[in-house]
Structure 1
């Protein structure tokens, strides 16, 4: 049996899952307006393992959502994952956050475009086909009426970043999945298990989150 602890903290959703051979056996998550990941994450990890009578020693790897996303959220998740891997001497697996968000829906045709809210009309986004194959590189996109103008097939938009685009992306080809807001550790399981089987691991000492953009520190006026 391969047990992987999956940690997703790239957005307002603090999410932890335990998978067995790529299948979810336990999930605990909470999304709040205020980022309380530092308070919730370790508690969720302990509760997840206890619910399945699994000890830390039973884990084969820890997977973390690597970004893009919230600077603070990513730092918390990656720090926790690296700490566990170092203490337990097990592999660290990094999973693309946008790929995790894309996996929350299933479509028959068209493409999936996950969007994570950035600033103003900017989103972190990427394009996937219906089978979740990557069609573009991740980017920080400022959304206006010309976005995706060269695409004629249906575009399925998911994530909190897509919600603010409804007044701009009004063409019939844009299909908004408003119930899908945040990525979840539940959808990490297949991706992390695949990387485990392929021995695609990160260097625990040197791995850093994928921020996509430099962190911007602002002060109140």
Structure 2
């Protein structure tokens, strides 16, 4: 639609929008989405005034690595997202910093949070044209991994 109408767009990251569900929370906000294979899609955020700030950008990492990263940061951590039920026990048993879990109804994407964060980005001038926009994938798909592996094997067979 933006391309056809020549209108700018504002890209809102999924994890940042999920963190925005906890608007004005004290401390760190850590959305965790199940990425399978004992990994999570995550980022680390905090609110400064009424603005969401990124402490650590989006990535796909193991839960142990994420908890280690969080232990090096100051402040209590609030976890939310569909990864909470999967990793709750691990967090409770191994994480040594003050933490809490957001209520389950805030652990899903909410259109209002996406819109409000999009408005913040728009006011900050974080806009782009539809032609400039490229989706950001945190990990290549299984089909892409399998294709790359087949191509690698084919190349080795030729060499």
Q: Is the 8 A contact 1:100 1:188 kept in 2?
A: yes
- Take 1:106 and 1:93, find their aligned partners in 2: how far apart are those partners? 19
- Take 1:123 and 1:205, find their aligned partners in 2: how far apart are those partners? 30
Partner of 1:167: 89
- Take 1:208 and 1:181, find their aligned partners in 2: how far apart are those partners? 26
SS in 1 for 2:61: strand
Partner of 2:119: 193
TM-score computed with the length of structure 2 as normaliser = 0.72
- The superposition leaves residues 13-55 of structure 1 with CA deviations (integer Å, 9 ceiling, x where unpaired) of xxxxxxxxxxxxxxxxxxxxxxxxxxxxxxxxxxxxxxxxxxx
Unaligned runs of 5+ in 2: 147-159
Cα pair distance change 1:208/1:129, threshold 3 Å: same
SS in 1 for 2:53: coil
Counterpart selection for 1:91 from 2, 5, 8: 8
Partner of 2:27: 110
Alignment of structure 1 residues 5-84 onto 2, 5 Å:
84=1
SS in 1 for 2:21: coil
Q: Is the 8 A contact 1:121 1:164 kept in 2?
A: no
Of structures 1 and 2, the one with the larger relative CO (CA 8 A, separation 6+) is 2
How many pairs were matched up?
136
Cα pair distance change 1:176/1:197, threshold 3 Å: closer
Unaligned runs of 5+ in 1: 1-83
Flag the structure with larger Rg: 2
Show structure 1 runs of 4+ deviating over 3 A.
none
Partner of 1:215: 141
Task: Supply the RMSD in Å over aligned alpha carbons.
Answer: 2.4
Q: Is the 8 A contact 2:79 2:102 kept in 1?
A: yes
